[in-house]
Structure 1
Amino acid sequence: MLAFAVAVTFSSASAQTVFRSSDTHPDGYPTVEAVKYLSDLLKERTNGRYAIEVFHSGQLGEEKDVIEQAQFGVIDMIRVSMGPFNNMVPETIVPSLPYVFRSTEHMRKTLDSEVGDEILAAFEKHNLVALAFYDSGARSFYNAKHPVKSVADLKGLKLRVIQSDIFVDLVNALGANATPMPYGEVYSALQTGVIDGAENNWPSYESSKHSEVAKYFTLDQHLIVPEILAISKATWDKLTPEDQKIVRQAAKDSVKKQRELWEAAEKTSRAKVEESGTQVVEVDKQPFIDAMKPVYDKYLKTPEMKALYDRVQAVQ
C-alpha cells in the first residue's frame, strides 16, 4: 500500500531493516522530529541494523486508517492521538477525559508511572504494541465566528472533533454541535463554513494554518491528551527479545527529546499566531469543568474505570 515514491525525511539507506512510520503532522513537527530521533537511536544501538522512515503529513492516511493498517502489519509504526483508540482500548478513556489532568506536569508524572505502563500494555491484545506517550499539550477551542468568553458563547457552534465519542460528548455537553472529521479536511471545512471552529493545541493550530481561517482562540484547555507511539504486533513479533528491548528503551528515551521539542514549539507557535492577528481569550475554566459532569457520569460507570480515574487523581 502506497509503495510509490513519496517525500519523506530519511537518511537510513544503509539500514538492513527500515520501519515505515506514519504521522499526520507536517515535517518539522515535534512528533515527527521525535520519531526521526528515535530512528537515530535505533541505528546507533543496533549498529545500523534498524532505522525508521517517517511518512509525515498524512501521506499514508488519516489516523483511523493508519491504525487499521498497523494492526494488519501494512505499516510498521504509527504516531496517533489517543482519542481514536477510545472505542478500541478502554484503558485510554480515563486519560482522554476532559480536565482529568491538573497540569502538564501531572500528566507526565502519571504516564511515567506504573499507571502509564498499564495503559500501554493494554494495546497488545489489539495487535499493536504501544511503546511510549508523546506530549500534545493542552487542547482549546478556536472558531471563525466570534470570541468565546464563556460556555454560553459556544452554544450552537459547529465544532470539528477527533473521531472519538468522548470528544463528541465533551463538545455537546458545552452546548455546541460536535462534527467528527478527519484532520486533513478541517482547513477547507473552516474556509467554506461547513464548520465554525475546531479544537487543538498551539502547534497544530499554527502548522495546519487553521489560524488563517479561525481567528478566535479560547484558552479553556479542556484536554491534555497524550499521543501514542505504537508498533505493529506483526512487526514486533519478528524481532528478537533483545531487539524488542532495544526498541522499547529507545522509544522511552525519545520521550525526553519530544517533550523538549514540544515545549519550544508551543511557545513559537503561540507567538506566530498572535503576531498574525489571532485573538486569544482567557476564560474562567470552572464553568467548563462543571459542564463535564454528564461526560464523567457516562464514562466512569464501571468499577475499573473509577479505580483508574482515582489512581490518576492520586498522582502528586
Structure 2
Amino acid sequence: MKKPLIFFAACAILLSANTLGAQKKASGKKNYKLVLRMSHVFAPNEQLTKSLTIVCDNIAKRTNGAIEIQQYPQGQLATYKDGVEQVVQGAKFISVEDPSYLGDYVADFNALVGPMLYSNFDQYEYLIRTDLVKRMIKEVEDKHRIKVLALDYIFGFRSLMTNKVIKTPADLKGMKIRVPGSQLFINTLNAMGASATPLPFSETISAVQQGVVDGLEGTMDAYGVNGSSEVAKKMALTNHFLGTCGVYINADLFNSIPKEYQIIIQEEFTKGAAHMISEVSKNYNTAKAKLESQGITFNEVDHDAFAKAVAPVYANMKGTTPGIVDKFRAELAKMPKK
C-alpha cells in the first residue's frame, strides 16, 4: 500500500507546483509593465510624429497599459548615432532614425538608402521585403542586437531648400548646406557640389537666418511645418534621397516582452508605417500648393547631372558588400509592373 500512497503524494506535489507556477506566470503577466522612451528629431506637427502617436496609443490600448511608449520629438532625448547606440546598449528605448545609421553596424544599409536610387515609394517598399534586405535585417539583429520593427516610415523625397535657384551641381559651389550627422548625407551633399555642414536640427533655422549655412535639405512634409519655409524660399526638387525612418529596439529587450505583446507592438508599428505613407502621399500636393500661396517657389533640376555627381558615393562606401547597389537594382528590375 505504501507505493501507491507515495505515487499519489508525488503527483499531488507535482500538480501543486505546476498550479503555483501557472498562477505565478499569470500574476506576472497581469502585473507586467514596461515603459519605453521613443526619440526622434521630427516636429510635433509633422506626419511621422502624428502617425507614431497613433501607434503608441493603440499599443497602450491593446495591451491594457502594460506597454507604454513615451514619445519624445524634436531631439529631446538621444538621436541619430546616439539614439541607435542606446538601443545597442540595451536601454528601454526606441530609436526612430534614417536606416543609414544602421550602416554603422551593417554597412549595406548605407547603400539601401543611397542617393538617387528610387523614383517612387513603391520601389523602396518592394526592395525592403526581398530576401536580400531581410538578410541584412537578420544580420543587424544577430550581430548587434538591433531589432528592426520597421524601415518604411516614409516622409517623402528630400530636396534642397535655399534662397537661390539650384538646377545643376555647379550651382551649389561654395554653398554650405545643413545635413544631419550621417556620413552618407555628408558624402552625398559634398558630391552634389555643396559643402555639407552637419548640425542638430534645433540649431538649423537660426543657422540659416544668421548665414552660418546657406540652406538645408528636407521633404515637402517638413518644409511647411518645421520652420524651413520661414528662412528658405526656394526648393530645388533634387529628390536626392528617399526620406524614410526605421524603428529600432534592442532585440534582447524585445524578446523579454511577453509574446502576445510582441505581436501587438509589431502589428502596430507595421500599420503605422502604412498610415504614414498614405497620409504623406495624400497631402503632398496640398502642402506644395499651400507653400506656393505663401510665396515659396519650386524648380526642377538636371537629375542626370546630379545622378552622375553622386555615383562615386556608392563606390566609396566602406565595408559594403561588393556590387550591393547593382544587386539592389537587379531586385528592383524584378518588381512587377502596375
> TM-score, normalized by length of structure 1?
0.86
SS at match of 1:250: helix
Question: Partners of 2:314 and 2:80 in 1: how far apart?
Answer: 25
Partner of 2:160: 141
Measured after TM superposition, the shift of residue 157 of structure 1 is: 0.8
Q: Deviations over 1:148-204 (max 9, x none)?
A: 122221111111122122222222222211112222221111111111111111122
Measured after TM superposition, the shift of residue 234 of structure 1 is: 4.8
Does the 8 A contact of 1:157 with 1:196 survive in 2? yes
Question: Partners of 2:334 and 2:226 in 1: how far apart?
Answer: 34
Q: Deviations over 1:84-136 (max 9, x none)?
A: 33333313112221111132221122224434433433332323211012102
Question: Any stretches of 5+ residues in structure 2 without a counterpart?
Answer: 1-30
Partner of 1:197: 215
SS at match of 1:291: helix
Question: Partners of 1:235 and 1:183 in 2: how far apart?
Answer: 30
1:38 to 40, 45, 55: 55
Does the 8 A contact of 1:62 with 1:182 survive in 2? no
Question: Partners of 1:51 and 1:267 in 2: how far apart?
Answer: 35
SS at match of 2:224: helix
Question: Partners of 2:231 and 2:200 in 1: how far apart?
Answer: 17
Q: Deviations over 1:196-248 (max 9, x none)?
A: 11111112222221111111210011111421111233531321334323322
| Greater helix share, structure number | 2
Partner of 1:254: 272
Question: Partners of 2:119 and 2:67 in 1: how far apart?
Answer: 38
Identity of aligned residues (%): 28
Does the 8 A contact of 2:56 with 2:68 survive in 1? yes
1:60 is the counterpart of 2:77: yes
SS at match of 2:222: helix
Distance 1:312 1:209, change over 3 A: farther
Q: Deviations over 1:19-42 (max 9, x none)?
A: 221121122322222222222332
Partner of 2:328: 309
Paired residue type of 1:209: G
Paired residue type of 1:221: N
Partner of 2:237: 219
SS at match of 1:277: coil
> TM-score, normalized by length of structure 2?
0.80
* Structure 1 segment 1-316 matched on structure 2, within 5 A: 16-124=33-141, 125-133=143-151, 134-144=153-163, 146-299=164-317, 302-303=321-322, 305-306=324-325, 308-316=327-335
Q: Relative to structure 2, which stretch is displaced further, 28-37 or 107-116?
A: 107-116
Paired residue type of 1:220: T
Does the 8 A contact of 1:139 with 1:201 survive in 2? yes
Does the 8 A contact of 2:155 with 2:276 survive in 1? no
Number of aligned positions between the proteins: 302
Measured after TM superposition, the shift of residue 251 of structure 1 is: 1.8
Distance 1:206 1:55, change over 3 A: same
Question: Partners of 2:209 and 2:105 in 1: how far apart?
Answer: 32
Does the 8 A contact of 1:174 with 1:288 survive in 2? yes
Q: Deviations over 1:18-67 (max 9, x none)?
A: 32211211223222222222223323443442232211222213333322
Partner of 2:11: none
Distance 1:65 1:266, change over 3 A: farther
- RMSD between aligned residues: 2.4
Does the 8 A contact of 2:39 with 2:79 survive in 1? no
